[in-house]
């Protein structure tokens, strides 16, 4: 395959962007963790079963479940961002994993950890929708 690379400015730009997002996500998780340790002294690692056992405590649980969900989303995001950082360093960043085309900068600015171009992403979604039926 032809050696394609993003320009140094672009790489720098996305590196900063990924770093900033990582920082934000980590600060967010930290703030939730603090909130939770104030709410309960129990620090079971299994948050999903924790939420389940508290299921009869009403609105408290809902916000608890909500923050657990938000935390999962943020954790996932951090994983994705770290992956993106790795790709950035080995030169795969910014190219579609399916077709190898450069991913639009506008898309990467919104989702810096995107690994598919819009076309391939849409194809994947269509496929997933079909599989669900």
Question: Which residues does 10 contact at the CB level (< 8 Å), separation at least 6?
Answer: 94, 105
**Binding to Zn ion (CB under 5 A): which residues in 12-31?**
none
Does the protein bind Zn ion through residue 71 (CB under 5 A)?
A: no
Binding residue (CB under 5 A) for Zn ion from 71, 111, 120, 123: 120
Is 7 within 8 Å of 108 (Cβ atoms)? no
Binding residue (CB under 5 A) for Zn ion from 55, 69, 99, 104: 99
Is 58 within 8 Å of 5 (Cβ atoms)? no
**102 DSSP β-pair partners:** 95
Binding residue (CB under 5 A) for Zn ion from 98, 107, 111, 123: 98
Binding residue (CB under 5 A) for Zn ion from 29, 68, 96, 111: 96
Please identify, among the stretches 12-20, 43-51, 70-78, 116-124, the one whose residues bind Zn ion according to the rule CB under 5 A: 116-124
Does the protein bind Zn ion through residue 47 (CB under 5 A)?
A: no
Interacting residue ranges for Zn ion, rule: CB under 5 A: 96, 98-99, 117, 120
């Amino acid at each position: 395959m032809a050696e394609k690379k993003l320009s140094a400015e672009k790489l720098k730009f996305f590196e900063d962007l990924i770093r900033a997002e990582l920082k934000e996500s980590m600060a967010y998780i930290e703030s939730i963790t603090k909130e939770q340790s104030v709410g309960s002294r129990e620090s079971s690692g299994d948050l999903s079963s924790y939420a389940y056992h508290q299921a009869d405590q009403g609105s408290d649980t809902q916000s608890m479940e909500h923050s657990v969900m938000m935390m999962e989303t943020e954790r996932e995001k951090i994983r994705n961002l770290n992956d993106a950082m790795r790709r950035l360093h080995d030169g795969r960043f910014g190219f579609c994993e399916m077709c190898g085309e450069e991913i639009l900068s506008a898309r990467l600015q919104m989702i810096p950890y995107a690994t598919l171009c819009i076309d391939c992403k849409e194809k994947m979604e269509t496929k997933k929708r079909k599989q669900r039926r």
